[in-house]
Amino acid sequence: GAGVSQSPSNKVTEKGKDVELRCDPISGHTALYWYRQSLGQGLEFLIYFQGNSAPDKSGLPSDRFSAERTGGSVSTLTIQRTQQEDSAVYLCASSLDRGKNEQYFGPGTRLTVT
């Protein structure tokens, strides 16, 4: 079946602009995660959605970052007033529910802020 998809695959933007990154999780997966992977770094947890519960935003690095998940499916990560340090690969993952072991990752969006 279809895996997790993300769009765009690459995004180049100028410093100060806003960007939106999209994630389509696997159908039926109630849990959705956003991570950031910077060059030479591990994965940094950003935000987690579980069903209709309030999201866990504890990993968001600043108030310029926000995310929403409409209808319990598609999620959008928005970065306002982008900075060069926001350049990274943004990965989305979904799992059947929060207790399940397997998180299935999308291919990521490579964001470059110039």
Partner 1 sequence: GEDVEQSLFLSVREGDSSVINCTYTDSSSTYLYWYKQEPGAGLQLLTYIFSNMDMKQDQRLTVLLNKKDKHLSLRIADTQTGDSAIYFCAEKSYSGAGSYQLTFGKGTKLSVIP
CB of 44 to partner 1, least distance (A): 8
CB of 101 to partner 1, least distance (A): 5
For partner 1, what does the binding mask look like between residues 93 and 112, x meaning CB under 8 A?
Answer: x----xx-xxxxxxxx----
Looking at residue 69, the DSSP 8-state letter turns out to be E
Token output for 92? 């989305």
Interaction between residue 52 and partner 1 (CB under 8 A): no
DSSP codes joined into one string, 55-68: PB-TT--STTEEEE
Closest alpha carbon to 104 in 92, 93, 90, 88: 93
Residue type, 80: Q
Q: Which residues bind partner 1 (CB under 8 A)?
A: 4, 33, 35, 40-43, 45, 48, 50, 53, 56, 58-59, 91, 93, 98-99, 101-108
